[in-house]
Amino acid sequence: MIQFQFITAFLLIVLGIYAFLAKRNLIKLILALDIIDSGIHLLLISLGYRIELNEIPTAPIYTGYETLKSPMVGPLPQALVLTSIVIGVCVLSLAVALTINAYRHYGTLDVRALRRLRG
């Protein structure tokens, strides 16, 4: 059975891709990229969360793990997602800064109008 977090992650990714392809405003395109990023983060965290023998896994704290009988969550996906969140925030801030600069210079945020100004 597919778990709820996988369905939500794929819906976020599909919604972000649809918004990225359908919208023409630069701010909406940036938001679509952020939605795709959030869906990928949820998918990666969900892949690291394993349920074995109907037991809920614990956090990856290794102090006293010898006495713990339940499975542990893998720390690698959590570390990768944390790194990806930091990179995503940096890319998002750069995209917003470039969008503000484009609006100040050209007076529009429409992608079609900005393409006509190329040259």
Q: Dump pLDDT digits (tens) for 41-53.
A: 988 888 876 666 5
Q: Domains for the chain: give ranges and CATH numbers.
A: 1-114 (1.10.287.3510)
pLDDT of residue 18: 96
* Burial grade of 99 (CB within 10 A; 0-12, 13-18, 19 or more): middle
Closest CA to 5 of 56, 41, 53, 57: 41
Q: Residue 99 has which token pair? A: 């969008």
Q: How far apart are CA 28 and CA 109, in angstroms?
A: 10
In terms of pTM, does the model score above 0.85?
no
Q: Dump pLDDT digits (tens) for 85-113.
A: 999 999 999 999 999 999 998 888 998 88
> Sign of torsion, CA 112 113 114 117?
positive
Q: How far is CA 23 from the centre of its chain?
A: 19
